[in-house]
Amino acid sequence: MKALNAQQSRELEQRAQQQGCPLLQLMEQAGAAVARFFKKKYEMEQKRVVVLCGRGNNGGDGFVAARYLAENKARVVVLLVDGQPATENAAAMYRRLYEQPAVRVFSYSDDRELAFSLLETADFIIDAVYGIGFHGRVAAHMEPLFEQVSKAAAVVVAVDIPSGLLCDTGTMEGPCIRADYTVSFSTLKCAHILNPGTELCGEVSVAPIGISAALIEQQAAAVQVTEMADVVRAIKPREPESHKGSFGRLLCICGSTGMAGAAAMSISAALRCGVGLVDAALPRDIYPVVATQAQEAVYTLLDILPEGKYSVESRRSLEKSSSLCSAILLGCGLGVAPHTKALVEEVISGSRVPVILDADGINSILGHIDILKTTDVPLILTPHPGEMSRLMGKTVSEIQQNRVRYARQFAMDYAVTLVLKGAGTVIAAPDGSIWLNRTGNAGMAKGGSGDVLAGMLASFTAQGIPATAAAAVAVYLHGLAGDRCAAQLSQTAMLPTDLIAMLPKLFLEIGR
């Protein structure tokens, strides 16, 4: 699904108008959609609803919603928070309010105490103050009103976007209304899926308002949001005549003394995601531990000499394994030692197949990340915010405040697919396109979750799914597995290995 920024949303509306859908009609449909949301979810008869209406077209949507809710016998009060409507269409809808005499209208500036009292006793508050065009900071005289909304016990529903939130970034420069629900029109907006906007929007639903699916499909988007349909398209059904060679061969260079678990989880996750064969290259001393947990893999055992180098035989074995694989996963529990750093550089510059760099694979190139520019094969990096901070020389706070911007910048500068992990994982492609993920939960914030994701992503890549699509699919299924585990086991008790155990159920659901 597409998520649009403010300019793209305006372009979509303009194109709809050019095709014979007047803005006044779109406003009518938008307000009606808000009323339908209430009708489907709540019994509205005699419920007290306060509609906060601003001066622009977002306020016009609120006037329409007020009219429809009153027709459904709700007790509706419209609160003009900043005076009379200032746009032609909003003014037209304001005049139509008088067709429904049950709606009462008050002005915030005339009697603040009355306004606060109405909010205090409301069952529902509709936020139709500012729309997607809002920028800057909420006017000072509005701040007490926003504070009163935050104190109210009412359910808060935002029209298109919570007031005070910046559409393009999901951030705010001052007070912002926190909604329990947001009714978005035609498409998602960037603020709905970018933190902290995600939390401020509450549960977001997308309502049609008469703009055709064809127009929406044609509209350029700031980001794409991964959905199950994308997973189904990317992972093809298996042909009856298939054999293990049909589904790729993954080389996992992973693990070190004390980090056998990282190797085992990444290998097991890769196998569960359908790759034909996993060749795990790891130190000989952890082989007995890993092999008991991932029996289906084949193993390339590595010996490290006392001077801290791989033996000649180990290097020959790695060269042979590299020549046979269709993708390489590098880094899960690998450690950061001189011999591993040298290996990471050699693999990146010499590989003829896609390379996935995770964890210590990323840490090994810090300080000389231009090594990423020495290859023409697809590269996928999977940093968490701390690793991203070190890669870009920014603070974690800076990275987190504009995750899309930094992910896109790095992906384009180094021609890689960048998976910036965390709440609302960002996938950035070398061409600057962005995919955002909405699955997953805080129960996944445990050591090992990243190893599972890396194995999944590498498995899909080895099977021939293009890098960005493989990343989007892996992140989506990883988060969905986490959501199912949280529902069954709780966020507190769930473990990364539970994610792997959940994968077969997800593949059954999608018929793969």
Q: What is the pLDDT of residues 251-292, one digit of tens each?
A: 999 999 999 999 999 999 999 999 999 999 999 999 999 999
Could you tell me if 494 and 482 are in contact, meaning their C-beta atoms sit under 8 angstroms apart?
A: yes
Predicted local confidence at residue 104, as pLDDT:
96
Q: What amino acid occupies position 491?
A: Q
Q: What is the 3-class SS of 8-56, one letter each residue?
A: HHHHHHHHHHHCCCCHHHHHHHHHHHHHHHHHHHCCCCCCEEEEEECCC
Q: What digits encode the pLDDT tens for the residues 416-465? A: 999 999 988 999 999 999 999 989 999 999 999 999 999 999 999 999 99
- Alpha-carbon distance 348 to 36, whole Å? 54
Burial class (CB in 10 A: 0-12, 13-18, 19+), 96: middle
Residue 319 has pLDDT above 90, yes or no: yes
Which residue is listed with tokens 């020495």? 374
| Mean pLDDT across 378-393 | 97
Is the omega angle on the peptide bond into residue 196 within 30 degrees of 0, that is, cis?
Answer: yes
Distances (CA, A) of 474 to 22, 87, 344, 459: 41, 46, 23, 9
- Alpha-carbon distance 447 to 237, whole Å? 33
Q: What digits encode the pLDDT tens for the residues 95-146? A: 999 888 899 999 999 999 999 999 999 999 999 999 999 999 999 999 999 9
Could you tell me if 52 and 115 are in contact, meaning their C-beta atoms sit under 8 angstroms apart?
A: no
Strands (E), 93-197: 104-107, 124-128, 155-159, 181-185, 188-189
Predicted local confidence at residue 194, as pLDDT:
86
Q: How confident is the model at residue 294 (pLDDT cuts 50, 70, 90)?
A: very high
Other beta carbons within 10 angstroms of residue 313's beta carbon come to 11
Q: What digits encode the pLDDT tens for the residues 222-245? A: 789 999 999 999 999 999 999 999
Q: What digits encode the pLDDT tens for the residues 14-34? A: 999 999 999 999 999 999 999
Q: With residue 427 as reference, give the H or E element that holds it.
A: strand 426-428
Per the DSSP assignment, residues forming a β-bridge with 206 are 184
Strands (E), 179-226: 181-185, 188-189, 203-207, 223-225
- Alpha-carbon distance 63 to 78, whole Å? 7
Predicted local confidence at residue 269, as pLDDT:
98
Could you tell me if 281 and 251 are in contact, meaning their C-beta atoms sit under 8 angstroms apart?
A: yes
Burial class (CB in 10 A: 0-12, 13-18, 19+), 296: exposed
Other beta carbons within 10 angstroms of residue 367's beta carbon come to 9
Which residue is listed with tokens 């729309």? 131
pTM value is: 0.86
Q: Which of 2, 132, 6 is nearest to 434 (CA)?
A: 2
Residues 6+ apart with CB under 8 A from 453: 269, 382, 419, 421, 474, 475, 478
Q: Give the count of alpha carbons within 13 A of 338, CB side only.
A: 7
The first and second tokens of residue 209, run together, are 């308002």
Bin 367: left if φ > 0, else alpha if -120 < ψ < 50, else beta: left
Residues 6+ apart with CB under 8 A from 183: 33, 34, 37, 157, 158, 159, 160, 205, 207
3-state SS class at 381: strand
The first and second tokens of residue 128, run together, are 């139709």
Share above pLDDT 70 across residues of the chain, in percent, rounded to a whole number: 100
Residues 6+ apart with CB under 8 A from 57: 23, 27, 87, 89, 90, 131
